[in-house]
Structure 1
C-alpha cells in the first residue's frame, strides 16, 4: 500500500555559521530540492540554525569573565531562533505549500524562559506547515553547558506521518535510555537522531537504537569545515588559530529495523541523501521483539514522564 512507503531526505549541509538569515535561505533551498526529489520528510542536523558552538573548545571557553566568550555568546544569541517572533514562518510556509514534514535542529531563544538563555531544540513541522513540537535538549553535553541551557520533557512527543510514528532526540540524548523509552512507549517506529556532524557519533549508535527498538533510525549530521566560518565572525582569528580543517565530517545514515544499514554513513559530502522506507519491515522485526509490547513487563517496570513546559513563573487564573 502507498501509505506504507515514506521517502525521506537527509540534509547533510553546513550552516552559514552563526548567520541566522543566510542559513535559513540554505535550509529553504534544501527543502525545495527535496520536494523536487519527491521527499515527504526532510531532516536537518543538530543546531544547524544557526550553527554548533565550535568556538568553545577552540578559544578557552571555560575562562571566567572573558570578553571573547561574552561577545561570541551574545553574537550567538542575536542569531538564535525566537519562534514566537515568527523566525520559522518561512519554513512552515514551504512545508505547507509542498506538503513535506520537517525535523530541524535550532538554537532557540524562547520567550517563555525570559528570552535570553539558549536551548538546543529539535523542531517538528508537519506536512500542513504547523509546528507540532519543540524538544529542548534535556542535558547539554560537556562544553555545550557553557552556552546552552538544559531543557524539559515537553517535546518528548511522537507524530504520525503516513503509516509511520516519528520521534526525535538531539545528539547525546540518544544515549539516554529513558528518553528513548519515552518515545518507544508512544509507538515510535521511525527514530530521528540529529547530530552536529561526525561519523564518530553516528556509526555505532544508529544501528544500536534500531536493533533495540526494532525501528528505522535516521541519523542526520551537519558539515563544518574551516572555510565555513564567515569572515564577519567575532574573534575569527582566535577561532581559526586552533581550528582543524574539518570540524564536522557528516556521517548521516539510516539503519533498518533489523539493525542493518539502509544507508551507511556518508562522509564529507554536502547535499541531500534520499531513501524510501517500507513500514512493513517494522512489523516483520516486531514479531520476535517489541520493547514496549509483547517483550515488556509494565507490571514490573514503568517510566513516569513529566511533559510540562518549565518556567520560573506561573500566573493564577483571574
Structure 2
C-alpha cells in the first residue's frame, strides 16, 4: 500500500470579529486562494466563525452580557446557511476543509458549543466535533460537548482527526484518535489566550504550550500535525477596546501571540510558520513518513499493554431530552383485548 503525499494549508487569519456573514465570506475567499495554490486540505482556527470570545478573559461576567448576546447572535447552526456556504466552497474547489466555529442550537437561543467540522471534497460533512470541556473562562461562554466527534475520517488524502485547543492537553482524547489510525492531526487555537494582567506574573505562553502539546501528539501518534492559530487584527483589537479600558488593551497587546505551523511525525517543524503576520501557511505531508517511526514506539500496536490498560470511549451524541409522543405510544401498546389474553407472566392465559 502506497500512502499519499498531500499539500495542506492553514489559515492564520483574523475573523471579521463577531460578524458571522462577513467571516464566512472571508473563509470562502481563503478556501479559493489556497485551492488555487494546490492545497487539498485547508484548516481554520478555533471559533473562526465568528471569532474567539477573548472578552470573557478581560472583564467579569457582569460586564459581558452584551458581548455574550453578540456572540450568540453570530454563532451558527451546523445545518445552517453559513456552514452550507463553506460546504459549497469545498465542493466547488474540490478540497477538504476543517472549520472552527461557535455552534448554536434551535433548542436554546443561549446555548453554544465550541465546534469543528471536517468537510470532504464533495461538500459533505464527515465529522462534527464539539469541544469536550471549555477551558478556564471559556466556561462562561460555551457548553461542554460530547464524544460523538472523537473520530478519525478515512479519506483519499489520509486519515484526518482534529481536537480543539486545550483538548490537546488531554492524553485520552488524543489517544482515542491515535487508536483510529490518525495520520493528520489538526489542532485549532485562538490568536491569544490571556491569563494574567500585565505586571502580575508570567502570562500563559501559548506559543510554547501549543508547540509542546501538538509536538507531543505528533511524536506519540507518529502523525503529521497542523497547528492552526487565529490572528488578532486591528479591527478585533479596536472592538475589544471600544470602552476605553486601557488595562484591557495592554493585556491584548502584551499577551503572547500563537503561531500557525506544521509538524512531521517526529514532532519537528516543517513548512511555513506564521505568527505576527496574517496569511495562509502551507506544507507538504508525505504520509509514508508515518511508517518508520512506528518501529520505535507504536502506542496503538506492540508498544502498549492492552491487558493492563482498557480505554472505553462513549461516542453517543447527547441530547437535552428524549420525547415519546402519544401517537408513537399508541402504535406500540397492544390493544386491550390482546392484553387480557395474557396472564402477566408472559404466557397466554387459559380461556
Q: Is the 8 A contact 1:44 1:103 kept in 2?
A: yes
Structure showing greater Rg: 2
Q: Distance in 2 between matches of 1:43 and 1:299?
A: 37
* 1:26-37 matched pairs, under 5 angstroms: 26-37=26-37
Superposition deviation, residue 110 in structure 1: 2.2
The aligned residue for residue 337 of structure 2 is: none
The aligned residue for residue 87 of structure 1 is: 82
1:106-154 per-residue CA deviation (whole Å, 9 max, x = no partner) reads 000123x534311100111111101122211101010110111111001
Q: Is the 8 A contact 1:59 1:238 kept in 2?
A: no
Task: State the Cα RMSD in Å.
Answer: 2.1
- For the pair 1:172 / 2:166, whether they are aligned, the reply is yes
What is the TM-score of this pair, normalised by structure 1?
0.91
Q: Is the 8 A contact 2:168 2:214 kept in 1?
A: no
Identify if the C-alpha distance between structure 1 residues 210 and 82 changes in structure 2 by more than 3 Å, giving closer, same or farther: same
- For the pair 1:47 / 2:47, whether they are aligned, the reply is yes
SS at match of 1:249: coil
The aligned residue for residue 333 of structure 2 is: none
Question: Which of 243, 251, 258 lines up with 1:237 in the alignment?
Answer: 243
Q: Is the 8 A contact 1:14 1:222 kept in 2?
A: yes
SS at match of 1:124: strand
Q: Which structure has the higher relative contact order (CA within 8 Å, separation 6+)?
A: 1
The aligned residue for residue 277 of structure 2 is: 269
> What 5-or-longer segments of structure 2 have no aligned partner?
192-205, 329-351
Identify if the C-alpha distance between structure 1 residues 70 and 182 changes in structure 2 by more than 3 Å, giving closer, same or farther: same
- For the pair 1:305 / 2:300, whether they are aligned, the reply is no
1:149-171 per-residue CA deviation (whole Å, 9 max, x = no partner) reads 11100111111232521100000
Q: Distance in 2 between matches of 1:240 and 1:131?
A: 43
> What 5-or-longer segments of structure 1 have no aligned partner?
none
Superposition deviation, residue 206 in structure 1: 2.1
The aligned residue for residue 128 of structure 2 is: 134
The aligned residue for residue 281 of structure 1 is: 289
Q: Distance in 1 between matches of 2:236 and 2:94?
A: 31
Q: Distance in 2 between matches of 1:121 and 1:169?
A: 9
Q: Distance in 2 between matches of 1:175 and 1:213?
A: 14
270-279 vs 157-166, which moves further: 157-166
Superposition deviation, residue 253 in structure 1: 1.1
Identify if the C-alpha distance between structure 1 residues 274 and 48 changes in structure 2 by more than 3 Å, giving closer, same or farther: same
The aligned residue for residue 190 of structure 2 is: 196
Which consecutive aligned stretches of 4+ in structure 1 deviate over 6 angstroms post-superposition? Answer: none
- For the pair 1:125 / 2:119, whether they are aligned, the reply is yes
Q: Distance in 2 between matches of 1:148 and 1:174?
A: 18
1:164-213 per-residue CA deviation (whole Å, 9 max, x = no partner) reads 21100000100001111111111112111110025243222222111111
Question: Which of 114, 139, 145 lines up with 2:139 in the alignment?
Answer: 145
Question: Which of 207, 210, 222 lines up with 2:230 in the alignment?
Answer: 222
Superposition deviation, residue 3 in structure 1: 5.7
Identify if the C-alpha distance between structure 1 residues 3 and 178 changes in structure 2 by more than 3 Å, giving closer, same or farther: closer
- For the pair 1:100 / 2:120, whether they are aligned, the reply is no
Q: Distance in 1 between matches of 2:261 and 2:41?
A: 15
- For the pair 1:38 / 2:46, whether they are aligned, the reply is no
202-211 vs 6-15, which moves further: 202-211
1:208-228 per-residue CA deviation (whole Å, 9 max, x = no partner) reads 111111111111000014443
236-245 vs 251-260, which moves further: 236-245
Identify if the C-alpha distance between structure 1 residues 240 and 24 changes in structure 2 by more than 3 Å, giving closer, same or farther: farther
Aligned residues: 310
